[in-house]
Amino acid sequence: MAIPYEFHYEKPLTLQAALELLDKHGENSRLLAGGTDVANEIRMGFRVPGLLIDIKGLEELKAIRVTDGALHIGALVGFDTIRASKPIRDHCHILYEAAGLVASPGVRNRATMVGNICSAVACMDSAAPLLVHDALVHCRSLGGERVVPVAKWFVDNRKTCIGGRELVTHVSIPLQEVKCAGAYQKMMRYTGEDLAAANVGVLRFADGRCHVAFGSVGPIPKRSPRLEKHFLEHGVNPESIVRAREMLEKLIKPISDVRASKEYRMHMAGVMLERALIAAGERLKMPRVIAGKE
């Protein structure tokens, strides 16, 4: 089906050139990386730009680096690259795990993680892993750099706090001082293409702390400070998990849609929370598959 909307296309080869284009065209432009969301949205007539700025020529956005106490993931790093990256496996295993559940290999070969959090569809797979790791989103404009904690990044379904003249260069994930292990759970009808009807990310620390984030059970993915406090006070054990599942009823607000009813989502959020807590706990006992220092 041909696309009935017309727009211009530019492919800048330096970050400076890209920022200048963005500055000039602002809200009338859109950035294009893997394009798996952008092409669909434009085809549907949603957020059709006057100018499409293809950033795939910006080599400096392709790197995965471990420096200055953080793991840096460039804006052009695709989910297939995340799956093949040892630094990501070592320092943010939950992201490696979630990346393997994004759509299908044919989409992962092109889709980027930063694109995922910029499209910000409530069911995105990258959000919960980044939230439990307290990741930072690095934005650039001609005016300079702005760093946003991922917990403040999402504003609404499909809406982030990015400015019209900003571009995300990379995401950084602080390396943990304390030994920790994560686990990601995604509720879907089948593997290979389905969007998450709900997802849960958990990061457990050797000192008893526990980070918990949910996706697809509200307009934006979120950490749950109430549950984190609960687990810090009571530990993670069968009783505290039962209690946490009761608390969930008040903490998340899933909706009913074509993929699942709100009752089913609510129930499964509890089941997945339990599974993720147990999996992360088991991983915490293992010498490998661990983020943070030994």
Of 5-13, 63-71, 115-123, 215-223, the window that binds other proteins (rule: CB under 8 A) is 5-13
Q: Does 258 bind other proteins (CB under 8 A)?
A: no
Helix, strand, coil % over all residues of the chain, rounded to 5: 35, 25, 40
Cβ(78)–Cβ(111) below 8 Å: yes
Q: Does 147 bind other proteins (CB under 8 A)?
A: no
How many chain residues interact with other proteins (CB under 8 A)? Answer: 30
Q: Does 110 bind other proteins (CB under 8 A)?
A: yes
Q: Does 89 bind other proteins (CB under 8 A)?
A: no
Cβ neighbors of 149 (< 8 A, separation 6 or more) are 134, 135, 136, 137
Collapse the DSSP code of 244 into the 3-class scheme (helix H, G, I; strand E, B; otherwise coil) and give the result: helix
Q: Does 7 bind other proteins (CB under 8 A)?
A: yes
CB of 100 to other proteins, least distance (A): 8
| Distance separating alpha carbons of residues 258 and 244, to the nearest angstrom | 27
Beta bridge partners of 67: 70
By CB under 8 A, name the one of 17, 107, 148, 289 that touches other proteins: 107
- Rg of the chain in Å (alpha carbons): 19
Question: In the complex with other proteins, which residue's Cβ is closer, 109 or 256?
Answer: 109
Judged by CB under 8 A, the chain residues 202 through 241 that form the site for other proteins are none
Cβ(111)–Cβ(36) below 8 Å: yes
Q: Which residues bind other proteins (CB under 8 A)?
A: 1-3, 5-9, 11, 32, 35-36, 39-40, 42-43, 52, 54, 56, 80, 103-107, 109-110, 191-193
